[in-house]
A and B are shown apart, each in its own frame.
Chain A
Amino acid sequence: MYGWIWRKLPGPFAVKLATAVVLALGIVALLMFVVFPWLEPRLWFNEVSVQ
C-alpha cells in the first residue's frame, strides 16, 4: 500500500518526500481536528459523573 502510494507520487525524490510529509500531516490534522473530536463523546471512558 505505502509502496504503491510512493510510486504514484509524481516528481523527483525531494518532491515525493515533501508531498508524502504534507499528506501525512494532513491526515494527522484530519484525525485530530475532525475524526477524534467526533469519535470521543461516543466512547465510554470519559465519563466522570454519577447517575
Chain B
Amino acid sequence: MPPPGSTEETVIFEPVGGGTATEERPPPRELGKGGVAIRTVGELLITAGLVVLLFMVYEVYVTDLFSAGKQSEASSELDGEWGKDRQLHPELVDGKAFARIHIPVFGADFNFTIQEGTTEAALEVGPGHYKGTALPGEPGNFAVAGHRVGKGAPFNDLDNLSSCDQIVIETQTDFYIYKVLPYKDEVEGWAEGKGAQPKCKNVGTLRNPNAADGGPYGETNGRRIVFPTKGDTVNPVPYKDPDILPKADQVSLLTLTTCHPQFSAKERLIIHAVLAQQVPKNQVGSYAELLPKISEAR
C-alpha cells in the first residue's frame, strides 16, 4: 500500500484502472481525447458484459433462492389449510396452492405445491395448474406448467422420466397416482413389451386398434416436444377438439409442460400420464406411508 499522499501517477496504476498497465513499464504517453473515449467505450462494454453474466447468475441461482422461500411458505400454508375441514372440491384461488406433486423417481423428498393459474407470479412459487383444465383425478386433462431453469426449477428433470414412472398428485383427500404413458417408439407391441412389466400395470397405449390414426388419443404419447403455440396440448383430449369425446368417455390424464430445450423457450417439453390408481387419505395417511407401498408395485 502506498503511503498517503503518494503521487497521482502511482494511483493510476492500481489495478482498478481497467486492466491496462498491470506490468511495470515506463508510464505510457498521455491519452488524447480519442484515446480516452475509446477506453471509456471499452470499459462500458466490459461492464455490460459483466451485467449480462450477473443476470445469468440471477436467473439460474438467485431466483431459486427467492422461489424456495415462496414455495416453503405456500407448502406450510397448504398443510394448514388441509388440517382444517375436509372439502370435496378444492377451492381454487388464483396463485394459491391447492395440491401437491410428488415424483418418486426424482427422490422421496421431491415435492412442490401446485398453484392455480400459470401466471408468472404463480409459477414463481411452484408448478401452476392451467385454469379451466380438469382437477386431479377427474376425467379430462389435469394440466400443470412448471419452470425448468431457475425459480426452483421444479420440472428440471422431466426429460429423465420414462414410461410408467409414477407421478403422485396429492390433494386434501386423496393421492392420485398417475403413470407416464408409453413413448412413441414403445406404443407398438406395448402389451407384450414394456407394458407387461408389473410397474406398467394399468398403463395402456390409449390407442383404438380399429382406427388408423389410433382414435382420439392417437397423438397422446408419454413425451412430446411441441411448439409453444400448441395450446390444444392441454385440451381434455390432447391435440383434439374439446368436444371430441363426452366427459364420461374421457380418460383421466395428467399433463406437465415446461420449456425445451433447457435454457430456451423455443419449444415445450410435454409429459402425458394416465391415472393408474387412487388412494384415499383415510387409508394411507401421508406420502411417507404411501411411498413404500407404491415402490413395491414397481
Contacts and interface: CB of A to CB of B under 8 A. Distances in A.
A3 B12 contact: yes
Nearest first, the 10 A-B pairs at minimum CB distance are: A49-B145, A12-B4, A45-B265, A49-B118, A1-B43, A36-B58, A50-B233, A48-B258, A48-B259, A48-B145
A10 to B, nearest CB: 12
Contacts, number: 91
A9 to B, nearest CB: 10
Contact of B147 (A20, A31, A44, A46): A46
* Chain B binding surface, main DSSP class: mixed
Question: Interface size for chain A: under 10, 10 to 19, 20 to 34, or 35 or more residues?
Answer: 20 to 34
A24 to B, nearest CB: 10
B226 interface: yes
Nearest to A2: B18
Question: Interface size for chain B: under 10, 10 to 19, 20 to 34, or 35 or more residues?
Answer: 35 or more
* Chain A binding surface, main DSSP class: helix
Contacts of B11: 6-7, 13
Interface of B: 1-2, 4, 8, 11-12, 14, 16-18, 39-40, 43-44, 51, 54-55, 58-59, 62-63, 118, 120, 123, 128, 130, 145-148, 150-151, 155, 226, 228-231, 233-234, 257-259, 263-265, 268, 270
Contacts of B258: 48
Contact of B1 (A2, A3, A13, A31): A13
